Structure 1
Amino acid sequence: MPCYRIVFLLAIFLFGAQVSAQTPRAALAHFKEGNKKLERGDLAGAIEELSRAIEISSRLDVDRSGTHKAMANGFAISADNASGVTVIDPFTAYAYTSRGLARYGQGDWEGAILDWDRAITINPGFAVAYLDRGSARYAKGDKAGSLSDWNRALSIDPRMPSAYSNRGALRQQMGETDQALIDLNKAITLDDRSARTYCNRGFVWIDKRDWQRAISDFESAIRLEPRMAWAYQGRGTARMDLNELEAAIVDFNRVLELDPELVNAYMNRGLALLLQSKDEEARKDFARALAIRPGIKDELATRIKLAEELRSSKPQRHLTGPD
């Protein structure tokens, strides 16, 4: 999924003294440290700390511990009242959600989904847990499951820009370009500082063959996040379809500086070189693309044949592969 990036939910809690091993403050201490490690990219350390927070919290009796009640109340989620659900312990739901993020970062989709399942069981109105579980389901190839989760997240919190952005990107992949555009426009209305949303919308404009709007969105993404490889890939794709081959090659070069394994950049740069009659350079790019992803052999052969037919004269038709 292009430009696709999961939303990290990080909370910071301020408290002072040394805490004992089995108290609410101990659970908070492990939670805080786990989120610090998550933010630093120490995923194994984050899982260890968050697992300890969950273990301690699960042993505490919310009804008998006034301190634990206060701790739970500090995690009250604004969507709860609107959804009419009973939340057993918001703190533990947050801890499961953070651990799910760490597991997602390790590529453990199943483990992440189990943690978000637990968070949702505790708090069925927790929109962020649906948002994140949808991302893990998408990573597993379960598009129907991810769409269901993002729909649910938006039914709980209709002002969640990341859910609109994710759903819009998925709808673009499913060929539902008009619905995708509605979602991505809404995401940008709610948050006009998201590079990935502009990038996602740029690919919708490519599907609609509106190259200038696509370029505008990719340039917005690049201004916000100059190291986003997919934004350069998208802009290069649009420039290539405008027959601006030199500018497209510059963009594909930049893509490969940022992400040397991005197959479509090799394929598209090779096609641009082929259209310039730089056959030897083009063959090197095609060979590299096939080495990374052998399954594109037939698709690549079709595009090469079309490029060879067009390179001497006619206006260029759609040769590129943005996704």
Structure 2
Amino acid sequence: MTLSGTRSLAAAAACALFLSACASSSGQAPVQVQSEPVSPEIVAAAEQSIEQGNYADAKLLLERVLLAEPGNLRARLAMAETQLAFGQLDAASEAFETLSKVPEATARAQQGRGLTLLLKGQERPALFLLEQAVDKDPGLWRAWNAIGTLHDRAGEWDAAAMAYDRALEIRPDSAMLYNNRGFSHLLRRDHQAAIADFDAALQLEPDMEAARENMRLAFAWAGQYDRALVGVSQKDIGRAFNNIGFVALLRGDLPAAESYLLRSMEIDPKFNRTANKNLEYLKSLKAINGSKVNVSEMEGNG
């Protein structure tokens, strides 16, 4: 993690964001609504696969349904979700835009298109569509989650907190949402609230590495460096030392920053370049503060 890492971390925390969507055919035919699908159990199975992140399985099921029933609204919405999950953003955007013209699907389609625009980096139109979606259907937790992320990026903390709270009211069992709200707390330097949310995420999903890594960052921001290292595996220790050193640097704890960055370089050579950039910045801070730096020692580890 270099000094530009804070925004990339936020983007990373934001990328944990979306239970989204996958691949399929090219053009989008006009929607012909069928109120009752002929194969509701297949569509339900596909929707469950999407919920579980099994997008390839969902795609196969949906292709079967749409081959027989091209106007199946639920299946078309689900297929657009799979396109989004597989990163086929143009196809997903086209599908959601077409589906947004169907009153029964408008809110979900606006949510999907808003998420697509967010992933394309078009933040202002994304926020506009996502807010329209929750106005029509306040139960769209993914839209609330994305709205929280967009407000985080703008530094609008109160609006971000409200959005994450709304998402968690709808999905209180979501480890991802607790992780994202925790990262929002971390961005505003509310370390104790961040730790509580990361702990809640890990209670729900003990193997969630993003929440575990974020918990370490939160402990480091609180100055609890030893706790930040609890449970770190040997293969990850170099990265952990670098990240703790980076956080200590941002906190202004220059002795701790130097110690952890040097330890990162000693234990894992792949962090030499990253840690050395942070050490170069540390040297400039020490120079500004009038401290003497052992330049030869630090440059020798570059």
Bin for the TM-score computed over the shorter chain: 0.5 to 0.7
**Pick aligned residue for 1:281 from 263, 273, 293:** 263
Residue 230 in structure 1 maps to residue 205 in structure 2: no
| TM-superposition CA deviations, 1:171-226 (whole Å, max 9, x none) | 11221112111222233334332222222222232233222122112111211122
Equivalent pair of 2:265/2:271 in contact (CA under 8 Å) = no
Task: Point out where structure 1 has 5 or more consecutive residues left out of the alignment.
Answer: 10-23, 59-90, 313-323
Residue 302 in structure 1 maps to residue 281 in structure 2: yes
Residue 114 in structure 1 maps to residue 94 in structure 2: yes
Partners of 2:193 and 2:52 in 1: CA distance: 37
Show the counterpart of 1:57. Answer: 69
SS state at 1:121 partner: coil
Alignment map for 1:155-166 (pairs within 5 Å): 155-166=135-146
Equivalent pair of 2:195/2:218 in contact (CA under 8 Å) = yes
Give the C-alpha shift of residue 95 in structure 1.
Answer: 1.3
Give the C-alpha shift of residue 268 in structure 1.
Answer: 0.9
| TM-superposition CA deviations, 1:79-135 (whole Å, max 9, x none) | xxxxxxxxxxxx623212211222223222222222222322334653222223322
One-letter amino acid of the structure 1 residue matched with residue 79 of structure 2:
R
Residue 138 in structure 1 maps to residue 138 in structure 2: no
Partners of 1:286 and 1:270 in 2: CA distance: 14
Aligned length: 257
Quickly say closer, same or farther: Cα 1:303–1:162, change in 2 above 3 A.
Answer: farther
Partners of 1:197 and 1:101 in 2: CA distance: 19
TM-score w.r.t. structure 1 length? Answer: 0.63
Show the counterpart of 2:24. Answer: none
Show the counterpart of 1:199. Answer: 179
Partners of 1:151 and 1:238 in 2: CA distance: 30
Equivalent pair of 1:168/1:180 in contact (CA under 8 Å) = yes
Give the C-alpha shift of residue 169 in structure 1.
Answer: 1.9
One-letter amino acid of the structure 2 residue matched with residue 113 of structure 1:
S
Partners of 1:170 and 1:57 in 2: CA distance: 37
Show the counterpart of 2:28. Answer: none
Residue 213 in structure 1 maps to residue 193 in structure 2: yes
Partners of 1:115 and 1:41 in 2: CA distance: 20
Quickly say closer, same or farther: Cα 1:127–1:240, change in 2 above 3 A.
Answer: same
Equivalent pair of 1:193/1:224 in contact (CA under 8 Å) = yes
Equivalent pair of 1:131/1:150 in contact (CA under 8 Å) = yes
Equivalent pair of 1:270/1:281 in contact (CA under 8 Å) = no
TM-score w.r.t. structure 2 length? Answer: 0.67
Q: Which has the higher contact order (CA 8 A, sep 6+)?
A: 2
Partners of 1:115 and 1:290 in 2: CA distance: 46
